[in-house]
Amino acid sequence: MKKMIIIILVILLIGLYFSFNKSSLKQKLDDNKEQDKTEDIFSNYYEQAESLLNTLTIDNKISQLLLVRHPSSNDLEIQKEYQFGGYVFFGSDFKNKTKEEVIKMISDLQNVSNIPLITAIDEEGGTVSRISSNKNLVDTPFLSPQDLYQDGGFQKIYDDVIFKSSVLEALGLNLNFAPVVDVSTNVNDYMYKRSLGMDTEHTSIYAKTVIEASKKGNVSYTLKHFPGYGNNIDTHISSSIDKKSYEEIMKYDIPPFIEGIKAGAEAVMVSHNIVEAIDKENPASISLKVHELLLNELNFKGVIITDDISMGALNNIKDIEVTAIKAHNNFLITSDYQKSFNNIKEAYNNNIISEEEIDALVLKNLAWKYYKHLI
């Protein structure tokens, strides 16, 4: 009888624990919804964006959905033909170049673009530094979030963002794929070195700090990798399955995104992990359920960007571009621009994707460019 009473009490305590945590998270989500009811950061620019959208052909609109890996050759000819929405630059694009050469490379692309480009880079600091490994561009490589925090806490991180933004802007870059706000505390995790390496509470402060600091300059920053990378393997090589419970994801992984969004984040990048608790079938980057969580529960009003759809995690998936658009991604990062463009155009021609669906995504992309004063 005593054992039975103890078992019942344990069950009740467990139930109360989860009920409390769910209530706490629900309050955070409700607070976020309340704040965002009247705060769409691009709201003042949709009218202008719609006027521009109405002048575009379907090919122009498809191109505006693509963030293309910068080609190693013939970049100006390619841009003249396709008029892509933006480019992603990697370390090889800056190798041994002077500041003047980098500025010219990017400004030449802007000059042949009918609509100003998003010019993006992964400049996280530490192990992922695209420009700061070149001493012609930066005297000292940017430090990782962990090193910055150890050196001077969140103030050091704040100052680093402002300095980094000034460097990127001077070169012509206007979007940084950082910060990594994945919660990782295990040194063996793939994402550990790129993260703050601390718990949810500290990572949430980190997300808020970076986004607030980014508002002091003209370079936008990107919360990644939604809905949280956790301890999953490298999706550049193969697929990765996240088996955490929904409660764990919402308690540990989502809060940093909530804080970053509340601070005014303009962009969120979605990972290629399959997050079973949300969608057992599709990688997060092309999962409608994952995007609905971001849009409807977290009330994110900015642009959603896939991780590179050419990565190994998506190799065996058909119609990636179609599924990505149906999932409400505003930008698709691609290393194979011809394949991506042709697949979207074919889907449009076959009435698989409507012009209205494309318009809804491109409208926000254009509004963002107005917001950033690129147009």
- 22 plus 78 within the same structural domain: no
- 54 plus 150 within the same structural domain: yes
- 229 plus 256 within the same structural domain: yes
pLDDT band at 305 (very low <50, low <70, confident <90, very high): very high
Query: What is the tens place of the pLDDT at every residue in 89-130?
Result: 999 999 999 999 999 999 999 999 999 999 999 999 999 989
pLDDT at 37: 39
Number of structural domains (the chain) is 2
pLDDT at 243: 87
As a whole number of angstroms, the distance between CA 135 and CA 132 comes to 7
As a whole number of angstroms, the distance between CA 114 and CA 40 comes to 26
Query: What is the tens place of the pLDDT at every residue in 209-223?
Result: 999 999 999 999 999
Q: How far apart are the first and last CA of the chain?
A: 74
Where is average pLDDT lowest: 31-40, 75-84, 155-164? 31-40
Query: What is the tens place of the pLDDT at every residue in 318-360?
Result: 889 999 999 999 999 999 999 999 999 999 999 999 999 999 9
pLDDT at 311: 76
pLDDT at 312: 67
- CATH number of the domain that residue 91 is part of: 3.20.20.300
Residues forming beta bridges with residue 220, ordered by sequence position: 175
E strand or H helix that includes residue 275: strand 274-275
Domain that holds residue 20: 1-38
Average pLDDT of span 134-139 = 93
- 108 plus 14 within the same structural domain: no
- 102 plus 222 within the same structural domain: yes
pLDDT at 133: 79
pLDDT at 313: 62
3-state secondary structure 318-345: CCHHHHHHHCCCCEEEECCHHHHHHHHH
- 261 plus 215 within the same structural domain: yes
pLDDT band at 314 (very low <50, low <70, confident <90, very high): confident
